[in-house]
Copies of this chain bind each other. A is one copy, B any other.
Amino acid sequence: MPTATFRNLPRAKQEAIITAAVAEFARSPYDQASLTKIVAQAGIAKGSMYQYFENKRELYLYILNMVYAEKRQYLKGVFEDDSDFFATLKRYYRRSYLFAKEYPLYHRIITHYWDYCAEFEEEIKSSRELKANEFIGMLEAAIRTGQANSGINKDAAFFVYHSVGKELIENFLELSQTDQQQHLQFIDQVLDVLESGLRARKE
């Protein structure tokens, strides 16, 4: 969505703008982020920004797309071998955690995006539906191979994984100073709860 003018910019200038925007959108959610601060940080005039992007929203969506492209790239490979359903889920959440560690600004942009429901409602809803279909597909395969419990409601199962994943991501922010190994262990324990259930097993 950026204009041709933006795409023809020298790389250094493009990157200055992107870096400034990433910093600001990581610092504050969309509505609190300040275009004025972004252009100041990037060292360009406000009018110039409006020659590169139609408005604040378009700039935001551009940055968001970039961030998500990076994350998709980072998570590529997690789903390649999905023979073990529960191992795949653990790989997914562990790798998401490592992404947050490696790209903390990108990670903050994503959490702000999910928090901020008012705008982007449709965008969030449609990407949620996509995730749901992927998950349910995997779950059905796991049921066929006897790994997963066939008695549970699939939508409910997705709902559970989705909400826990969302909250895990949010928590990664707060606990950023402590030990990484401890975090990964906690992720595993949370997923163990979802796998085993709270009711005692008499197996």
Cα distance, A198 to B85, chains bound together (Å): 10
Q: Any chain B CB within 8 A of the CB of A194?
A: yes
Note all chain B residues with C-beta closer than 8 A to A149.
196-201
**What CA separation (Å) do A202 and B146 show in the bound complex?**
10
Hey, which chain B residues are within 8 Å of A199, CB to CB?
Answer: 86, 147-149, 195-197
A16 nearest CB across to chain B (Å): 27
**CB under 8 Å from chain B, chain A span 135-159:** 139, 142, 146-153, 155-157, 159
Report if A117 contacts B (CB, 8 A): yes
Q: Give the interface centre of A115, A146, A160, A190 by most chain B CB atoms within 10 Å.
A: A160
Question: Is A166 interfacial (CB-CB < 8 Å)?
Answer: yes
A152 and B200: CB pair below 8 A? no
Residues of A within 8 A of B (CB): 31-32, 85-86, 115, 117, 139, 142, 146-153, 155-157, 159-160, 162-164, 166-168, 171, 186, 189-190, 192-203
